[in-house]
């Protein structure tokens, strides 16, 4: 029997307990370059109808992240007017809370055979693979979007080209607190068995 077909109960046990960590509770170190390359490779192993790879990654160097915060603050204040101190600090630290931040960009486009929706789902799977791989490597991880993922000026500043959009930003670091569990939906509320509907 191939390794692919072999049961891995330890993986199931890990997935049953995986939790996101708030980026504001992360510290260094984050993954080194070699580990980061492995995480990116694992993130790319997702269903991808047509082998389009309709997504890509942007890595934000730590030395550049304070400048990103300044730009986001500038855009936010242009949109909303002067912000209070708490909100200013929130914008300034968007990309400095975790030692590693990776943008996942969806480049889904009209295709004669592959629906755009399937391409976008593939980008979401990339994000989920990334946070799971980071957690399996012993790091804290969180998948976030926030307003700047949907603001055209901010998204372009952060790396989007025309026609692209952010699937999210993956924050990776070392946890300072144990993750807290949260309520999960009851299976009885979200699972049904199909029955044929009468016309």
Domains in the chain with CATH codes = 24-61+97-177 (3.40.109.10)
Query: 97 labelled as ligand-binding?
Result: no
Query: 55 labelled as ligand-binding?
Result: no
Query: 141 labelled as ligand-binding?
Result: no
Q: Give the pLDDT of residue 179.
A: 83
For the chain, strand residue ranges (E) read 26-27, 55-59, 100-106, 140-144, 165-175
Query: 182 labelled as ligand-binding?
Result: no
**pTM, two decimal places:** 0.93
In 3D, which of 61, 129, 69, 133 has the Cα closest to residue 100?
61
Write the CB contacts of 145 (distance below 8 Å, at least 6 apart in sequence). 166, 168, 169
C-alpha 115, offset from chain centre: 22
Q: Is the pLDDT of residue 151 over 70?
A: yes
Write the CB contacts of 23 (distance below 8 Å, at least 6 apart in sequence). 97, 98, 142, 144, 171, 173
Query: 87 labelled as ligand-binding?
Result: no
Query: 20 labelled as ligand-binding?
Result: yes
Q: Is the pLDDT of residue 182 over 90?
A: no
Q: Give the pLDDT of residue 81.
A: 96
- Evaluate whether 45 touches 196 at the Cβ level (below 8 Å): no
Q: Is the peptide bond between 29 and the residue preceding it cis, with omega within 30 degrees of 0?
A: yes
Query: 8 labelled as ligand-binding?
Result: no
Round to whole Å and give the CA distance between 101 and 67.
Answer: 14
Average pLDDT taken over every residue of the chain = 95
Query: 78 labelled as ligand-binding?
Result: no
Q: Give the pLDDT of residue 198.
A: 79
DSSP percent split of the chain into helix, strand, coil, nearest 5: 45, 15, 40
Q: pLDDT class for 181, splitting at 50, 70, 90?
A: confident
């Amino acid at each position: 029997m191939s390794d692919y077909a072999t049961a891995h109960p330890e993986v199931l046990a890990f997935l049953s307990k995986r939790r996101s960590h708030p980026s504001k509770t992360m510290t260094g170190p984050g993954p080194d370059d070699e580990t980061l390359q492995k995480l990116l490779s694992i993130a790319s192993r997702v269903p991808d109808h047509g082998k389009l790879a309709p997504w890509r990654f942007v890595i934000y160097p730590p030395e550049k992240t304070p400048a990103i915060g300044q730009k986001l603050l500038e855009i936010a204040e242009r949109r909303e007017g002067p912000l209070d101190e708490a909100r200013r600090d929130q914008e300034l630290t968007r990309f400095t809370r975790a030692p590693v931040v990776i943008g996942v960009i969806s480049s889904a486009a009209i295709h004669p055979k592959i629906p755009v929706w399937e391409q976008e789902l593939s980008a979401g799977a990339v994000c989920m693979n990334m946070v799971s791989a980071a957690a399996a490597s012993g790091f804290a991880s969180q998948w976030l979007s926030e307003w700047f993922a949907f603001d055209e000026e901010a998204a372009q500043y952060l790396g989007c080209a025309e026609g692209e959009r952010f699937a999210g930003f993956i924050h990776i670091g070392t946890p300072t607190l144990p993750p807290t569990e949260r309520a999960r939906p009851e299976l009885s509320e979200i699972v049904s068995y199909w029955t044929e509907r009468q016309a």
